[in-house]
């Protein structure tokens, strides 16, 4: 029982309880008898009223009263007095039931039902609400009822907003009032009601209001979420825009069908190999969008007929919306030794159709261009012996010389010529507001070391950096990342219960820092060269190992990566990798991946050949935290009528390994390491071999 | 830190079933179907379901069914979607869904969908996202999700999403952990979790953990064992459960046990009840407490029961 002390009742209490119980039981029996016999006399109604006044949760009794009201109203339709007295009696019963339990869903609903019969007045209802909202200002039933009454009686949003101001002024520690304020204010802002436009003026006043709450008691959460909402309103851009692509604008791509680049003709950063004779074209937007297709995206080139390109959303769900989208373009069909370059021009936003999930259109017509050149097949390396086995040993990785000037295709936002601020006068306000907030929170922290101060400052600084990145990319440097990292480290100590939240945020900032410049990225780039291999060209590997990363970020800057080493981190999720369409070799060993379903993003990586997930925690946990973020019959996102019982592979029922089946049956791996996971045994390995016929190496053993 | 008094909780649940004459038992009579689900699910998580006679339970359940297909909270009480789900869940626990006229039950549930995609709890028209979850969960367990307009149902739930990332009872309603469980669960079952801002909601949910280690259901409220279920299951479905301190929460739940007579209460030293006993034990299962059966965060049934329904036996 909520809030009732645990103690053995004294004998006299037990006796009193028994009397009460007998009384209640008798009322209940009488009431059910009347209900089943459709007895709606005054006496019968009194029994149900008494019952509900003691126990308002007996829902059947409210149903009975509604039947009785309908019955009795039909008997007295012509007599307004008796209609009034029937309905007044209902309002009275509700009120005394609410006095017994003001959280009774049944009682509140009954009152709504009575009101739809056209009785009572706004004043009467507001008086009742005042009483209950004063007694408990957080009673969400009362607040819900208040919204119902306001709508029913056409009370204006401005008036109701005033009510929340009064509630907040009398006690700012009222999350319910802040919540209702956010609802009302978004209506008023959305409709551009007079006095609530321009948005900037209104938001500035709201900041002042919430500062009072935050600075009076920084540990009180009531204003926290309102402040983060204001922040979001300040920095977010409604319309989606393009933030990066692969190939990037101005990029000179060299493609080949054979695997051994000779290392002389081109930088490994700009060359792409594929057996299938196609390469991906990836678009990365500022938010998830739908409607990316051959009519909203124009691709002009002489490569192939590009009218009917199939665009696929790179997301781990089946929603048809995604932040990243990809299609495949064919290699130029050219004769040997031709080094002609083929221009490709991509345009978008010229017709409506690309839409964010909140319904905003991509509205900045923009285009970018790159060239493609085919490197002819190299006959010297024509006959390869089997499939290469990648060995992720340190000695196979060589620091990549910084002398490659053309080097990494980090995206410059200016190159895309996509950012035209639709409200140029407003942009100053955004920057100024964030700067003010930063100053205020620095001041707060100089007085008191509080978690919300640190966290908000970290968020503000990141918001500031992101805004500057979009506004003036040329002048941009990540100016605050060191300070933000320090703030998150401080938060881990200050608030250890939520340390892994701060760690995840810390990882995102680290990713931003690493990817923010060519120089910092190059520090993490290595040449992979296996000393035993004849393959002298090798790969460029982005090595982000041993960085205590717990989640992945800044993927839009990493679309070019073909070989990625994320080993020896603390990754529990690899969400984001699904956009990295060029990935062919991926090392996730020695992380904290705890289930096969956590590998869902890999299902979108059609080029992935080599995967190392050794020494993780797959199979070690009874609770799977990605069970519902993975396609499966549980969420109706995997095929139609999958009968897993019908699939038996080598005496292993697929049902026992359904997660592994869902993930691995969609991959085309040639090499896989799974050793060091709880799930891994001979049975599991033989299952994997059957599910992936392309597999050539499993846990360092060549398969035959 | 103490240990889970599993055996005492089993005894407590059996005693609640027998005790019918004190005031608290009479007050709970109208929702006996829910009580049975809480008690029996707890027994199953504790690995002790076999001490109950399934035939007795099943025949009582079936006497609570009405002509329309819906179930009441007890014999003689009106049908409501709340008790219909509990009835289906109990039958699933015992692997006895075959006693149901599945078309009839799913017709009752799907008939409660409104034009805007929302669901009423019964013929009297109370609308709440709790009922959206119940309908979706129930129909999915019966393999009859195709009987409703899932797209509209999802859109209605999304219309109840708030600026803090959480969900309320109806559009505009304040976020509440119990309501969030219902909405996240319904979105999980319909493969629609992409409508959730996982980081925003995850932060709101992980901030429900207070100094004692317990979880509250809304900002600036007291912790309560039942939120161990509502908050934890939601955090698990969006893969953010690592954002709270699991050990401290385990300790809080264990501190709420009545170590003498069994049962778990909302807060330490309060009176125990079967509702909090279930949510405490289910919470510990979600925290991977040793010796407990794993529970599925969306269907609120043991994982082996859910897998049996969706992947065959």
* A83-132 pLDDT, tens digit each: 889 999 999 999 999 999 999 999 999 999 999 887 777 888 999 998 88
Rounded Cα distance between A588 and A616, Å, is 8
CB A660 within 8 A of CB A599: no
Which tokens belong to A349? Answer: 């936003």
CB B170 within 8 A of CB A109: no
Element (H, E) at B297: none
Task: State the virtual CA torsion across A4, A9, A15, A19 in degrees, nearest 10.
Answer: 10
Asked if the C-beta of A626 comes within 8 angstroms of chain B's C-beta atoms, the answer is yes
Task: State the virtual CA torsion across A468, A473, A476, A478 in degrees, nearest 10.
Answer: 70
The nearest CA of chain A is from the CA of B230 a distance in Å of 15
Least confident of A338-342, A385-389, A403-407, A539-543: A403-407
Collapsing DSSP states into helix, strand and coil, what is residue A319? coil
pLDDT greater than 70 at residue A641: no
CB nearest to B310's CB, from A140, A319, A634: A634
What is the reported pTM? 0.95
Interface test with A, best of B86, B92, B194, B205 (most A CBs within 10 A): B194
User: Which pLDDT score is estimated for A415?
Assistant: 43
pLDDT greater than 90 at residue A374: no
**Cβ-defined contact of A144 to B168 (cutoff 8 Å):** yes
Average pLDDT over residues A377-401: 71
> The domain A525-702: what is its CATH number?
3.80.10.10
Residue A173's Cα: distance from chain center in Å? 29
- B148 vs A392 pLDDT, higher one: B148
Summarised one tens digit per residue, pLDDT across range A654-697 is 778 889 999 998 899 999 999 999 999 999 999 999 899 999 99
> Which chain A residues have a beta carbon less than 8 Å from that of B203?
501
Interface test with A, best of B22, B23, B177, B245 (most A CBs within 10 A): B23
Looking at the DSSP bridge assignments, the partners of residue A329 are: A279
**b/e for A265-302, b at 16 or more Cβ within 10 A?**
ebbbbbbbbbeeebbbbbbbbbbbbbbbeeebbbbebe
User: Which pLDDT score is estimated for A498?
Assistant: 97
Q: At what angle do helices A140-152 and A157-170 cross, to 10 degrees?
A: 150
Q: Which of A61-70, A113-122, A239-248 has the highest mean pLDDT?
A: A61-70
Start-to-end CA span in chain A (Å): 65
> Which chain A residues have a beta carbon less than 8 Å from that of B27?
24, 55, 57
| A vs B: CB pairs below 8 A | 224
Cα angle A107, B178, B298 (rounded to 5 degrees) comes to 130
The nearest CA of chain A is from the CA of B94 a distance in Å of 20
Asked if the C-beta of B256 comes within 8 angstroms of chain A's C-beta atoms, the answer is no
- A336 vs B252 pLDDT, higher one: B252
pLDDT greater than 90 at residue A704: no
The count of C-alpha atoms lying within 13 angstroms of the C-alpha of B256, restricted to the half-sphere facing its C-beta, is 36
Q: What is the DSSP letter of B264?
A: B
Written as one string, the DSSP assignment of B100-142 is: S-HHHHHHHHHTTB-TTS-BBSSTT--B-HHHHHHHHHHHHHT
Summarised one tens digit per residue, pLDDT across range A508-546 is 999 999 988 878 888 899 888 876 655 555 678 999 999
User: Which pLDDT score is estimated for A272?
Assistant: 85
The nearest CA of chain A is from the CA of B231 a distance in Å of 13
Chain B 74-133, CB below 8 Å of chain A: which residues?
76-78, 80, 122, 124-126, 128
Looking at the DSSP bridge assignments, the partners of residue A284 are: A244, A324
pLDDT grade for A404, boundaries at 50, 70 and 90: low
Average pLDDT over residues A539-562: 94
Rounded Cα distance between A478 and A380, Å, is 46
**Cβ-defined contact of A1 to B271 (cutoff 8 Å):** yes
User: Which pLDDT score is estimated for A414?
Assistant: 42
Which tokens belong to B190? Answer: 């319909």
CB nearest to A319's CB, from B194, B242, B288: B194
pLDDT greater than 50 at residue A556: yes
Chain A 129-158, CB below 8 Å of chain B: which residues?
138, 140, 143-144, 147
Summarised one tens digit per residue, pLDDT across range A275-316 is 788 899 999 999 999 999 988 999 988 776 656 889 999 998
> Which chain A residues have a beta carbon less than 8 Å from that of B164?
179, 182, 225, 228-229
Collapsing DSSP states into helix, strand and coil, what is residue A244? strand
> The domain A242-380: what is its CATH number?
2.60.40.1220
Least confident of A85-89, A390-394, A602-606, B193-197: A390-394
Q: A232: closest CA among B234, B180, B162?
A: B162
- Radius of gyration over every alpha carbon of chain B, rounded to an integer in angstroms: 18
**Cβ-defined contact of A221 to B220 (cutoff 8 Å):** yes
The CA–CA distances, whole Å, from B199 to B67, B161, B167, B309 equal 45, 14, 15, 31
Summarised one tens digit per residue, pLDDT across range A442-477 is 999 999 999 999 999 999 999 988 887 766 655 556
**Cβ-defined contact of A63 to B78 (cutoff 8 Å):** yes
Complex prediction ipTM = 0.97
Residues of chain A with CATH 3.80.10.10: 525-702
Average pLDDT over residues A612-627: 97
Asked if the C-beta of B304 comes within 8 angstroms of chain A's C-beta atoms, the answer is no
Interface test with B, best of A60, A164, A176, A656 (most B CBs within 10 A): A60
Phi/psi class of residue B213: alpha, beta or left (left: φ > 0; alpha: ψ in -120 to 50)?
Answer: left
Which tokens belong to A43? Answer: 């006496």
CB B201 within 8 A of CB B149: no
Collapsing DSSP states into helix, strand and coil, what is residue A506? helix
Rounded Cα distance between A99 and A81, Å, is 27
**Chain B: residue nearest A316 by CA?**
B194
User: Which pLDDT score is estimated for A421?
Assistant: 42
Which tokens belong to A98? Answer: 């609410």
Task: State the virtual CA torsion across A252, A258, A264, A269 in degrees, nearest 10.
Answer: 40
Q: A597: closest CA among A317, A320, A287, A284?
A: A317
**Cβ-defined contact of A628 to B209 (cutoff 8 Å):** no
**Cβ-defined contact of A635 to B188 (cutoff 8 Å):** yes
Interface test with B, best of A623, A643, A647 (most B CBs within 10 A): A623
The nearest CA of chain A is from the CA of B83 a distance in Å of 12
Q: A346: closest CA among A334, A354, A338?
A: A354
**Cβ-defined contact of A59 to B80 (cutoff 8 Å):** yes
**Cβ-defined contact of B30 to A173 (cutoff 8 Å):** no
Q: A216: closest CA among A166, A246, A185, A171?
A: A171
**Cβ-defined contact of A498 to B243 (cutoff 8 Å):** yes
- Answer CATH for A19-173+187-197 from 3.40.50.2030, 1.25.40.120, 3.30.450.20, 3.30.40.230: 1.25.40.120
> Which chain B residues have a beta carbon less than 8 Å from that of A228?
164, 200
CA dihedral over A406, A412, A418, A421, signed as positive or negative: negative
Q: What is the pLDDT along chain B (313 residues), one digit of tens a residue?
A: 689 999 999 999 999 988 877 888 899 999 999 999 999 999 999 999 999 999 999 999 999 999 999 999 999 999 999 999 999 999 999 999 999 999 999 999 999 999 999 999 999 999 999 999 999 999 999 999 999 999 999 999 999 999 999 999 999 999 999 999 999 999 999 999 999 999 999 999 999 999 999 999 999 999 999 999 999 999 999 999 999 999 999 999 999 999 999 999 999 999 999 999 999 999 999 999 999 999 999 999 999 999 999 987 6
Collapsing DSSP states into helix, strand and coil, what is residue A345? strand
User: Which pLDDT score is estimated for A424?
Assistant: 43
Least confident of A27-36, A346-355, B34-43, B118-127: A346-355
User: Which pLDDT score is estimated for B243?
Assistant: 98
Least confident of A110-119, A329-338, A480-489: A329-338
Q: Please give the biggest Cα pair distance in chain A.
A: 103
Least confident of A167-181, A323-337, A619-633, B216-230: A323-337
CA dihedral over B238, A606, A344, A378, signed as positive or negative: positive
Residues of chain A with CATH 2.60.40.1220: 242-380
SS (H, E, C) A637-698: CCCCCCCHHHCEECCEEHHHHHHHHHHHCCCCCCEEECCCCCCCCHHHHHHHHHHCCCCCEE
List of E strands, A465-608: 525-528, 539-543, 563-565, 585-587
User: Which pLDDT score is estimated for A468?
Assistant: 78
Q: What integer best gives the mean pLDDT of chain A?
A: 87
Average pLDDT over residues A15-38: 94
Q: Based on the number of CB atoms within 10 Å of its own CB, is A704 exposed (0-12), middle (13-18) or buried (19 or more)?
A: exposed
Rounded Cα distance between A621 and A613, Å, is 16
- A78 vs A194 pLDDT, higher one: A194
Rounded Cα distance between A671 and A559, Å, is 22
Rounded Cα distance between A327 and A298, Å, is 12
User: Which pLDDT score is estimated for A144?
Assistant: 96
Which tokens belong to B288? Answer: 């991977």
**Cβ-defined contact of A497 to B244 (cutoff 8 Å):** yes
CA dihedral over A242, A562, A275, A697, signed as positive or negative: negative
- A421 vs A256 pLDDT, higher one: A256
Rounded Cα distance between A449 and A454, Å, is 8
Collapsing DSSP states into helix, strand and coil, what is residue A211? helix
**Cβ-defined contact of A105 to B126 (cutoff 8 Å):** yes
Q: Based on the number of CB atoms within 10 Å of its own CB, is A565 exposed (0-12), middle (13-18) or buried (19 or more)?
A: buried
The count of C-alpha atoms lying within 13 angstroms of the C-alpha of A312, restricted to the half-sphere facing its C-beta, is 17
> Which chain A residues have a beta carbon less than 8 Å from that of B73?
59-60
The count of C-alpha atoms lying within 13 angstroms of the C-alpha of A206, restricted to the half-sphere facing its C-beta, is 28
The nearest CA of chain A is from the CA of B149 a distance in Å of 14
Element (H, E) at A544: none
SS (H, E, C) A567-630: CCCCCCCCCCHHHCCCCCEEECCCCCCCCHHHHHHHHHCCCCCEEECCCCCCCCCCCCCCCCCC
Rounded Cα distance between B150 and A127, Å, is 40
Residues of chain A with CATH 1.25.40.120: 19-173+187-197
Chain A 355-414, CB below 8 Å of chain B: which residues?
357
CB B167 within 8 A of CB B157: yes
Phi/psi class of residue A139: alpha, beta or left (left: φ > 0; alpha: ψ in -120 to 50)?
Answer: beta
Chain A 261-300, CB below 8 Å of chain B: which residues?
288
Asked if the C-beta of B290 comes within 8 angstroms of chain A's C-beta atoms, the answer is no
Interface test with B, best of A147, A636, A662 (most B CBs within 10 A): A636
**Cβ-defined contact of A63 to B72 (cutoff 8 Å):** no
| Total Cβ atoms within 10 A of residue A690 | 15
| Total Cβ atoms within 10 A of residue A621 | 13
> Which chain B residues have a beta carbon less than 8 Å from that of A53?
none
Collapsing DSSP states into helix, strand and coil, what is residue B161? strand
> Which chain B residues have a beta carbon less than 8 Å from that of A321?
194
């Amino acid at each position: 029982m909520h809030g009732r002390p645990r103690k053995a009742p004294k004998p006299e209490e037990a006796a009193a309880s028994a009397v009460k119980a007998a009384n209640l039981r008798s009322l209940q029996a009488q009431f059910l008898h009347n209900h089943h016999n459709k007895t709606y006399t005054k006496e019968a109604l009194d029994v149900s009223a008494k019952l509900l006044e003691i126990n308002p949760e007996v829902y059947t009794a409210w149903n009975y009263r509604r039947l009785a009201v309908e019955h009795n109203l039909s008997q007295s339709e012509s007599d307004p007095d008796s209609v009034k007295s029937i309905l007044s009696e209902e309002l009275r019963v509700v009120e005394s039931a609410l006095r017994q339990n003001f959280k009774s869903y049944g009682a509140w609903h009954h009152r709504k039902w009575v009101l739809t019969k056209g009785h009572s007045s706004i004043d009467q209802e507001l008086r009742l609400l005042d009483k209950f909202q004063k007694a408990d200002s957080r009673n969400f039933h009362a607040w819900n009822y208040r919204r119902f009454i306001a709508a029913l009686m056409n009370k204006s949003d401005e008036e109701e907003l005033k009510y929340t101001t009064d509630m907040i002024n009398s006690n700012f520690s009222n999350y319910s009032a802040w919540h209702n304020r956010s609802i009302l204010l978004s209506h008023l802002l959305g409709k551009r009601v007079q006095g609530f436009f321009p948005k900037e003026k209104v938001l500035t006043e709201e900041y002042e209001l919430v500062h009072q709450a935050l600075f009076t008691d920084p540990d009180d959460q009531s204003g926290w979420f309102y402040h983060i909402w204001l922040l979001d309103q300040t920095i977010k851009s409604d319309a989606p825009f393009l933030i990066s692509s692969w190939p990037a604008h101005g990029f000179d791509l060299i493609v080949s069908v054979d695997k051994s680049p000779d290392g002389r003709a081109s930088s490994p950063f700009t060359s792409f190999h594929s057996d299938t004779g196609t390469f991906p074209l990836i678009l990365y937007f500022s938010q998830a969008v739908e409607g990316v297709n051959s009519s909203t995206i124009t691709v002009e080139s002489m490569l192939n007929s590009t009218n009917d390109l199939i665009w696929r959303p790179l997301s781990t769900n089946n929603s048809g919306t995604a932040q990243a989208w990809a299609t495949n373009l064919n290699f130029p069909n050219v004769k040997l030794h031709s080094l002609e370059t083929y221009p490709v021009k991509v345009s978008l936003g010229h017709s409506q159709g690309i839409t964010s999930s909140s319904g905003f259109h991509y509205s900045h017509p923009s285009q970018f261009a790159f060239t493609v050149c085919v490197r002819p097949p190299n006959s010297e390396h024509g006959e390869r012996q089997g499939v290469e086995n990648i060995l992720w040993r340190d000695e196979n990785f060589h620091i990549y010389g910084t002398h490659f000037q053309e080097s990494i295709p980090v995206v410059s936002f200016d190159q895309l010529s996509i950012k035209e601020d639709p409200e140029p006068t407003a942009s100053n306000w955004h920057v100024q507001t964030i700067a003010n907030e930063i100053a205020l929170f620095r001041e707060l922290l100089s007085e008191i070391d509080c978690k919300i101060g640190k966290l908000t400052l970290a968020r503000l600084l990141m918001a500031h950096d992101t805004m500057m990145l979009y506004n003036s990319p040329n002048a941009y440097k990540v100016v605050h990342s060191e300070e933000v990292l320090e703030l998150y480290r401080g938060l881990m100590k200050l608030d250890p219960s939520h340390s892994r939240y701060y760690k995840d945020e810390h990882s995102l900032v680290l990713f931003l820092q690493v990817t923010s410049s060519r120089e910092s990225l190059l520090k993490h780039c290595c040449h992979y060269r296996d000393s035993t291999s004849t393959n002298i060209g090798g790969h460029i590997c982005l090595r982000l190992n041993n960085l205590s990363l717990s989640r992945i970020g800044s993927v839009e800057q990493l679309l070019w990566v073909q070989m990625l080493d994320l080993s020896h981190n603390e990754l529990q999720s690899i969400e984001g990798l699904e956009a990295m369409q060029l990935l062919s070799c991926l090392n996730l060993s020695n992380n904290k991946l705890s289930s096969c379903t956590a590998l869902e993003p890999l299902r979108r990586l059609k080029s992935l050949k080599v995967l190392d997930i050794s020494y993780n925690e797959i199979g070690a946990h009874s609770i799977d935290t990605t069970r519902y973020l993975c396609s499966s019959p549980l969420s109706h996102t995997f095929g139609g009528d999958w009968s897993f019982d019908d699939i038996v592979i080598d005496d292993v029922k697929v049902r026992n390994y359904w997660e592994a089946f869902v993930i691995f049956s969609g991959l085309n791996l040639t090499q896989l390491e799974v050793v060091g996971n709880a799930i891994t045994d001979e049975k599991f390995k033989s299952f994997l071999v059957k599910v992936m016929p392309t597999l050539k190496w499993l846990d360092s053993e060549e398969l035959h | 830190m103490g240990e889970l008094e599993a055996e005492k909780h089993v005894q407590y649940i059996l005693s609640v079933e027998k005790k019918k004459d004190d005031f608290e038992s009479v007050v709970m009579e109208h929702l006996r179907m829910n009580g049975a689900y809480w008690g029996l699910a707890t027994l199953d998580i504790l690995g002790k379901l076999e001490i109950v006679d399934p035939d007795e339970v099943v025949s009582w359940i079936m006497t609570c069914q009405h002509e329309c297909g819906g179930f009441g909270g007890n014999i003689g009480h009106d049908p409501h979607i709340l008790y219909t789900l509990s009835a289906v869940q109990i039958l699933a626990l015992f692997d006895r869904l075959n006693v149901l006229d599945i078309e009839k039950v799913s017709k009752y549930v799907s008939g409660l969908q409104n034009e805007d995609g929302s669901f009423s709890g019964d013929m009297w028209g109370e609308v709440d996202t709790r009922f959206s979850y119940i309908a979706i969960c129930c129909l999915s367990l019966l393999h009859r999700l195709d009987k409703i307009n899932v797209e509209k149902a999802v859109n209605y739930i999304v219309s109840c999403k708030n600026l803090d990332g959480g969900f309320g009872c109806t559009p505009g309603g304040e976020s509440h952990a119990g309501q969030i469980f219902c909405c996240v669960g319904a979105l999980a079952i319909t493969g629609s979790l992409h409508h959730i801002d996982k980081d925003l909601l995850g932060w709101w949910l992980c901030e429900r953990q207070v100094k004692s280690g317990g979880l509250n259901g809304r900002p600036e409220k007291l912790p309560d064992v039942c939120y161990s279920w509502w908050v934890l299951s939601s955090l698990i479905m969006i893969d953010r459960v690592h954002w709270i301190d699991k050990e401290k929460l385990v300790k809080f739940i264990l501190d709420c046990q009545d170590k003498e007579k069994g049962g778990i209460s909302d807060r330490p030293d309060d009176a125990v009840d079967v509702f909090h006993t279930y949510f405490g034990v289910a919470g510990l299962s979600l925290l991977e407490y040793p010796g407990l059966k794993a529970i599925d965060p969306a269907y609120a049934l043991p994982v082996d029961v859910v897998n049996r329904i969706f992947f065959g036996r």
